[in-house]
Amino acid sequence: MQSSHKRMVRTLLIDVSNSFTKLAIARNRKIGRVHTIPTASINASKIRAFRVDRAVISSVVPKVNQILAKALNCSPIWVDYRVAGGVSLRYPNPSSIGADRLANAAAAVSLGKLPSIVVDFGTAVTFDVIDSEGRYIGGIIAPGLPTAASALHERTALLPMTQIGKITSSIGKNTREAIRIGLLLGAAGLVREAVTRITKEQFKGIRPTVIATGGDSELVTRLTARHGDKPLIDLVDPLFTLRGLLVIAEKNP
């Protein structure tokens, strides 16, 4: 008698950013353990360790793409503006939209809380804006916190390299603390100003859902509220880009 059990497809989700690459295997619409690897150390052996049926890749580092293509045991879906993700692109040059930003937009539309703004805190801080009809209409790109910290260290004679971390005051008592406060308050101010302007200009004052992802999203979210008010960011989801890749996988069987 033939078994009616359907084999579970293993889909490898790969998000290649400038600093780190995230990999996770999804089964039955659930994302498993996330592996985070410095992008500079990606090699074929690390990729071959994942034996999967299919793969979906968002990459903003072209030199890594050839390594991935040769190492995978399947032909991957490379995310770009031509790949179905459930998002309409109202954008003059869609080929210039980063694959990670397209994945974030796909996740936002799938979530269904529109209009929305996705803020991704990585090497760069990106804002991706999706209107109430599920159309990607553009965004903002600014230096990420690690990038800003590195720039301060490299372009000054005396300022040390500073790791981003939690702050408890708005006044630093030493140089590293002062830099950390400056970077985080600057990021929180950027989020407040960007969301306020986008809401006024694009949505006529209708409050969009603000979603944050990326390494520093939780730290910045805590600082976006004023005087004990509700944080400006509605949802923090470190897996949001990977969720978008899974949405794209489902729409491209």
Per-residue pLDDT at 228 = 61
Domain extent, residue 238, equals: 88-244
Q: Which residue has the tokens 């030493």?
A: 174
Q: What is the C-alpha to C-alpha distance for residues 151 and 145, in angstroms, rounded to an integer? A: 10
Within this chain, do residues 157 and 233 fall inside the same structural domain, yes or no? yes
Q: Look up the CATH number of the domain holding residue 72.
A: 3.30.420.40
Q: What is the C-alpha to C-alpha distance for residues 26 and 82, in angstroms, rounded to an integer? A: 23
Within this chain, do residues 97 and 189 fall inside the same structural domain, yes or no? yes
Pick the last residue of a domain from 47, 80, 113: 80
List 53, 80, 100, 216, catalytic entry: 100
Within this chain, do residues 170 and 100 fall inside the same structural domain, yes or no? yes
- The question of whether 53 is a catalytic residue gets the answer no
Per-residue pLDDT at 225 = 77
Within a domain: 252: no
> What's the Cα-to-Cα distance from 30 to each of 8, 24, 44, 125, 248, rounded to whole Å?
11, 10, 25, 27, 14
Within this chain, do residues 171 and 237 fall inside the same structural domain, yes or no? yes
- For residue 243, the tally of other CB atoms under 10 A from its CB is 22
Within this chain, do residues 20 and 145 fall inside the same structural domain, yes or no? no
Within a domain: 108: yes
Which of 234, 131, 135 minimizes the C-alpha distance to 191? 234
Question: Is the alpha carbon torsion for 128, 249, 33, 29 positive or negative?
Answer: positive
Q: Report whether 180 contacts 161 (CB < 8 A).
A: no
Per-residue pLDDT at 227 = 55
10-residue mean pLDDT series, the chain (253 residues): 64 96 95 96 94 96 96 95 97 96 98 97 96 97 96 95 93 96 96 95 93 94 77 93 98 93
Pick the last residue of a domain from 62, 80, 98: 80
Q: What is the C-alpha to C-alpha distance for residues 82 and 89, in angstroms, rounded to an integer? A: 10
pTM: 0.92
Residue partners of 213: CB distance under 8 A and separation at least 6: 104, 118, 119, 120, 121, 236, 237, 238, 239, 240, 241
Q: What single string gives the DSSP state of each residue in 113-147?
A: --SEEEEEESSEEEEEEE-TTSEEEEEEEEE-HHH
Within a domain: 155: yes
Within this chain, do residues 151 and 216 fall inside the same structural domain, yes or no? yes
Per-residue pLDDT at 124 = 95
Within this chain, do residues 111 and 174 fall inside the same structural domain, yes or no? yes
Residue 21 gets which letter from DSSP?
E
> What's the Cα-to-Cα distance from 121 to each of 48, 61, 133, 166, 168, rounded to whole Å?
29, 17, 25, 15, 20
Within this chain, do residues 26 and 98 fall inside the same structural domain, yes or no? no
Per-residue pLDDT at 226 = 66
Q: Considering its fold, how many domains does the chain have in total? A: 2
Within a domain: 187: yes
Within a domain: 3: no
Pick the last residue of a domain from 61, 80, 99: 80
Within this chain, do residues 115 and 183 fall inside the same structural domain, yes or no? yes
